Homo-oligomer: A and B are copies of this chain.
Amino acid sequence: MLRSKTCGELRLSDANTTVTLAGWVQTTRDKGGVLWIDLRDRYGITQLLLEDGQTAPELFTTARSLGREFVVQATGTVIERKSKNPNIPTGEIELKVTALTVLNPAKLPPFLIDDDTDGGDDLRMKYRYLDLRRNPVRRNLELRHRMAQQTRIYMDGQGFIEVETPVLIKSTPEGARDFVVPSRMNPGEFYALPQSPQTFKQLLMVSGFDRYYQIVKCFRDEDLRADRQPEFTQIDCEMSFVEQEDVLNMFEGLVRHLFKSVKGIDLAEVPRMTYADAMKLYGSDKPDTRFDMKFVELKGTFDTVDLTSGKGFGVFDSAELVVGINAPGCAHYTRKQMDELTDWVKRPQIGAKGLIYVRYNEDGTLKSSVDKFYSEEDLQKWAVQFGAKPGDLMLIISGDSNKARKQLNELRLEMGNRLGLRDPNVFSTLWVLDFPLLEYGEEEARWFAMHHPFTSPKPEDIPLLESDLGAVRANAYDLVINGTEVGGGSIRIFNRDLQARMFSILGFSDEEAKSQFGFLMDAFEYGAPPHGGLAFGFDRLCSLFGGSDSIRDFIAFPKNNSGRDVMIDSPSEISDKQLDELKIATTVPAK
């Protein structure tokens, strides 16, 4: 080794020993004939010392030539520091240098390698290898490593076997768009990269593997919204001879283990809520339950007593749903603030037509933006419904049920932000259960699987497959943490006929179903056990644990929003020879 110790391990007990360190020059200070160098590696920082009259002059010459990020090797004697630095573990000692070698010089980095850097996003992506030197970024990847380690410890302990499933598989039309790979040996044919190992893990259950997991790369060729990546990592799991309850318990156990082992947090039992309740109470299937502010209906679809109609306010009279939230302690909002909030919900991304408010003043009076139509007595009834107290502000949206709920969900999250109720270091978990099996795509005029085509309907709802497709509930479940879906899964269909029926509902011809998924349906005829499973979004889980909104910060070499790796400049054109060998041509007009 070019070192005998790392830059993070020397202590006062090492005093008077001779050691060799290697690392990067973080800073140099040259003052009154004394020169200090902070030498950095992954493990820490150690101070090097050179003193006039004590250190050989040629070492001074070398040391004075060092710039930031030079890679050097230093040998010397560990001594006690005169002025100690209590902020770092090596702060009691320094290294009195007797030999100093430049292993590699460094150009001035294009941005500061420091916790707070002056580099913009684009520059840091282009020089990702330098950004990765910064402590916060490196710590994110160390966290990711610990998350993976602890996941494996838990899964191994529960008897799961990690099995690698193939990356070169087959393109299927259902779900998101596939990345494809032309096959040179089979001209005109393509592999696809997996969006998940779904069918393979089900086959492993048919094979009797009983408990499977894998931390695995998956791929989706989707238009990249902020913070989506074309390649992402899943913790993918499947179990045989289980019911929904077993899967929930197993993976609640995993999440609890991760919180305890990685963050030292004893997680409370994960509460459960049906999809229907989540939509009614939060307007979302992934509610942020770090704060309350549940939806309150003044007129609606769930047996709500109508407290709004017939008072001459046409907007509410014609609305399918009148629904609001009570923002605690916000009665002080000024007219200007209300106008700004109204504009916020009217932005195209939210799309509300307007925002009605009722201020519950500290003196007990009520003041609303619809005083023209509703008496103080009416508003009092609303306040009771909202459970509002003096000092609160009720915010009400109306219209089509689905749209109004979505809009109010956005407003609720925004109010949570404004009220500081969404602390990234507070964790609130939730199982959302009983998802609909199917959802109707108006545009395509057909039914789609809400999770995927392999999800089992609830046995008691199977008759509804013949009468009311929208009412069929699935044995499907999502794990939500802080308003983010971090995992989801289901009990699977394991019967050929039911699987065929499902494909038929989704608009597959018998032939299409057979050519795409015949192998799976065949497998169901050779002794398939009941099975179910779950997959966690590993990048997202890591970012949540790291208290960050950005999954990119937890991926070593992420791609930008155009799917480009700007560091290596990929994707790129390939040679005509490659195209010829693959028997493909691009149809892009020459530039």
- Seen from chain A, the residues whose Cβ lies within 8 Å of a Cβ on chain B are 1-3, 6, 22-24, 40-43, 69-71, 73, 103-107, 109, 127-130, 132-133, 138, 141-142, 144-145, 148-149, 152, 156, 161-171, 173, 177-193, 199-200, 203-204, 206-210, 217, 219, 221, 223-224, 230-231, 233, 241-243, 246, 494-495, 515, 519, 523-530, 555-557, 559, 562-565, 567-575, 578, 580-588
Contact = CB atoms under 8 A, between A and B. Distances in A.
B578 A583 contact: no
B219 A167 contact: yes
Contact of A133 (B142, B208, B573, B584): B208
A1 B183 contact: no
15 contacts: A2-B242, A41-B210, A73-B241, A106-B525, A149-B162, A167-B231, A168-B219, A168-B559, A180-B578, A186-B562, A186-B563, A187-B588, A190-B573, A203-B557, A583-B587
Nearest to A67: B527
Tell me the number of copies of this protein.
2
Contacts of A525: 106-107
A181 B221 CA distance: 11
Contacts of A128: 203
B578 A104 contact: no
Contact of A181 (B69, B144, B180, B575): B180
B578 A526 contact: no
A421 to B, nearest CB: 34
Contacts of A186: 562-564, 571
Contacts of A208: 23-24, 40-42, 132-133, 138
Interface of A is mostly: loop
A568 B181 contact: no
Contacts of A495: 104
Given A178-B578, A180-B582, A585-B587, A130 B571 contact: no
A512 B528 CA distance: 54
A168 B570 contact: yes
Given A2-B242, A243-B1, A243-B2, A572 B161 contact: no
Nearest to A169: B570
B163 A556 contact: yes
B141 A572 contact: no
B42 A210 contact: yes
Nearest 5 CB-CB pairings of A with B: A106-B527, A170-B570, A132-B207, A188-B588, A189-B571
A553 to B, nearest CB: 14
Nearest to A557: B166
Contacts of A163: 141, 144-145, 556
A511 to B, nearest CB: 13
B519 A572 contact: no
B527 A24 contact: yes
A162 B538 CA distance: 14
Nearest to A137: B207
Contacts of A191: 179, 570-571
A577 to B, nearest CB: 9
Contacts of A70: 527
